[in-house]
Amino acid sequence: RYENRDDTSMADNAGVLREGSPILATGEAVLAPSLSVDAMMGALDTRERNGVIFSNSAGNYVCNNTAYWMAHWFRAPGSPGFAFIHVPNTRCTPERADPNRLGSKISQMLLAAIHR
């Protein structure tokens, strides 16, 4: 779920501190991914599911802001849908940080959800 809430403890690049203000003044309080999480998980075998964790939150300021806007834009009729995916950083274990493996896994998940 993506909340219509800008919230950070630090000022942005323009020096603006955003604490609990809406991202979109006329937007819904919460938006959800429009792609099926069940379909995405179903695309992976047991071994591939290792390390895949679904969360009810995109995080805070930057991630939530990005996810909220994308979910808002991709609600249009005919849209292929949207889901926000956090990708592990390069300080993870070598297996989890392998870009080819991550790209393949994410592609499988998205294709399954889009073609559902």
What average pLDDT does the structure give for the chain?
A: 86
Which residue intervals of the chain are DSSP H helices?
37-42, 46-49, 61-73, 94-97, 99-114
Q: Give residue 90's pLDDT.
A: 66
pLDDT digits (tens, 9 = 90+) for 39-66: 999 999 988 888 788 888 888 778 889 9
State pTM to two decimals: 0.79
Structure tokens at 36: 């099926």
What is the C-alpha to C-alpha distance for residues 8 and 11, in angstroms, rounded to an integer? 7
pLDDT in tens, 4-41: 998 888 888 898 888 888 999 999 999 999 888 899 99
Task: Write out pLDDT tens, residues 94-115.
Answer: 766 778 888 888 899 999 998 8
Token digits of residue 69: 């806007």
